[in-house]
Structure 1
Amino acid sequence: MENQNKNTARKPRFLCLHGFRTSGDIMKKQIHKWPQNVLDKLDLVFADAPFPCTGKSDVEGIFDPPYYEWFQFNKEFTEYTNFDECLRFIEDYMIKHGPFDGFLGFSQGAILSGALPGLQEKGVALTKVPKVKFLIIIGGAKFLAPSVAEKAYSSPIGCPSLHFIGESDFLKQHGKDLIESCVEPVVIHHPKGHTVPRLDDKSSNVMIDFIERVQKDISKTKE
């Protein structure tokens, strides 16, 4: 039924990594607040993190369980538990459900997404899947532990990236620090806090421009 002509650029395919103690289904609901003309340009796949929630979720009473977490961490966010298992899980998921062009992450999923290109480049993660080509980061930050940070950010993050920065997000400065490590960042500022924001006309246009640029890059690699 789909009579796509050869000139129609395919939709960029993003693996979506949800926030801490939420789920792929919850992130799908959060993302689907965006305008349809933006969503129609993306092929989004929503994964659940590998570990069941080990404590209270901030979205209890807003979204139904189950809730999951990608890995666990100490209060200072300098020590991580099950991090290597998390990386293996993401790679296995990409092998089974890919290929993917990039990551779209929120909160803990955004912190992971922003680190994966560097970890892949250093050969410590995602060694069996194609190179990560694009990032969409919502409420992101850098890893603080040297064991991860030294590998993830030792070189600038070279793939095109789109970053959402909330004016009252508690991770705002950390999100800006991540942007400084990116070679080609596009930034959307919004007035909200640590959330997946709705898109106004201006931010929708910025996002559509970014997606269309991604599509052109994908088309070039296919030629």
Structure 2
Amino acid sequence: MAPTRILALCGFTQNATIYSKQLGAVRKTAKNAEFIFLEPPIVVQKADMPWNQGSLDQFASNATTEEDAQTPETTPRAWWLSSGDTASKKVFRRFDESVKYIHDFMVANGPFDGIMGFSQGACMAAVVAALLEKPGLHPDWPASPALPKLKFLIAVGGFLPAAAEPSFEGYFPLPANLPVLHVLGKNDVVVNAERSQSLIDGSLNSRVELHDGGHFTPSKASWRHFFNAYITAVANGEDQNDVPPVNSFGPSGANTPATGSGTPRSSTPAPAELTRA
């Protein structure tokens, strides 16, 4: 049986190598899935970071903005860079570049059965899913050649795009025929529950699973086996809600110490760094 091909999009300041390592345990368990990690085209400079900070730990990234210390494996990358301090004024710089880049990659290397993204990559994955459903929404995502629609989307620590430029009018909600799995950290203070709820509400066929940690992809045994079961089921056209919950595969906590606090639909304001994610 041919493997389930999944396009994997890393988060802000990560890169394909970092994301591949973070999903290493999941990849080993999901033996019938092939993850294709796409390197974002934009290199993040120190000036692009919130407050020009050097530490990228909060973004679950071990990259560095110190150019003298960078290697291809530690260079921070992004799908877009943000300008502006509020949602109404925010501009996604170089976003069009990434749209064309991903489209051309999928034309040359597809088809893909599903897409999985973390943080900014989850947001970008949702945009890609929308463009596959409605090609032509973006001038750099033409309707021809037609690309196959996705069978599923997995968004970890994701959020709905919100910007004054470009406009995402008409992109969402994602249709009911696309199952979307939202994986959220109960203690995620980088992309909080309120912001993740925007993507949940922007998907007509949503399923939410929570882990006890923060801003990262859970990978303990119960989660590895859940991801494997989920991918196998939805790739075969089964209802995503028929897949047993994470806790049926064992304890579903976190692999790393939890930080901060938060619950679904939290009213806690998003921290300032989210304006850059």
TM-score in same-fold range (> 0.5):
yes
1:73 — aligned with what?
82
1:26 — aligned with what?
18
2:170 alignment partner, one of 148, 151, 154: 151
1:58 — aligned with what?
56
* Residue 23 (structure 1) shift: 0.5
TM-score for both structures, normalised by structure 1: 0.82
Structure 1, gaps ≥5 residues long: 1-7, 219-223
* Residue 200 (structure 1) shift: 4.0
Q: Alpha carbons of 1:51 and 1:168: their partners in 2 closer, same or farther (altered >3 Å)?
A: same
Alignment partner of 1:14 is 2:32: no
Within 2, Cα distance between the matches of 1:92 and 1:111?
Answer: 19
* Residue 142 (structure 1) shift: 0.3
* Residue 157 (structure 1) shift: 5.8
Q: Alpha carbons of 1:24 and 1:194: their partners in 2 closer, same or farther (altered >3 Å)?
A: same
Structure 2, gaps ≥5 residues long: 47-53, 64-72, 239-277
* Residue 145 (structure 1) shift: 2.1
* Residue 169 (structure 1) shift: 1.2
Quick check: 48-57 or 136-145, which moved more?
48-57
* Residue 86 (structure 1) shift: 0.8
1:34 counterpart SS class: helix
Within 1, Cα distance between the matches of 2:9 and 2:16?
Answer: 7
1:94 counterpart SS class: helix
1:124 — aligned with what?
137
TM-score for both structures, normalised by structure 2: 0.67
Alignment partner of 1:109 is 2:121: yes
Within 1, Cα distance between the matches of 2:27 and 2:148?
Answer: 30
What amino acid is the match of 1:52? V
What amino acid is the match of 2:38? A
Contact 1:12 1:214 in 2 (8 A): no
1:3 — aligned with what?
none
2:123 counterpart SS class: helix
Contact 1:162 1:185 in 2 (8 A): yes
Within 2, Cα distance between the matches of 1:133 and 1:96?
Answer: 19
Within 2, Cα distance between the matches of 1:89 and 1:108?
Answer: 16
Contact 2:176 2:203 in 1 (8 A): yes
1:178 counterpart SS class: helix
Quick check: 145-154 or 157-166, which moved more?
145-154
2:103 — aligned with what?
91
Within 2, Cα distance between the matches of 1:184 and 1:87?
Answer: 24
Quick check: 178-187 or 52-61, which moved more?
52-61
Alignment length, in residue pairs? 208
Q: Alpha carbons of 1:57 and 1:20: their partners in 2 closer, same or farther (altered >3 Å)?
A: farther
* Residue 214 (structure 1) shift: 2.3
User: What's the CA shift string for 1:162-217, capped at 9, x where partnerless?
Assistant: 1111101132222122112223222220011111122342x444423321222313
Alignment partner of 1:182 is 2:203: yes
Within 2, Cα distance between the matches of 1:79 and 1:161?
Answer: 26
Q: Alpha carbons of 1:132 and 1:35: their partners in 2 closer, same or farther (altered >3 Å)?
A: closer
Q: Percent same amino acid at aligned positions?
A: 28
2:26 counterpart SS class: coil
1:199 — aligned with what?
220
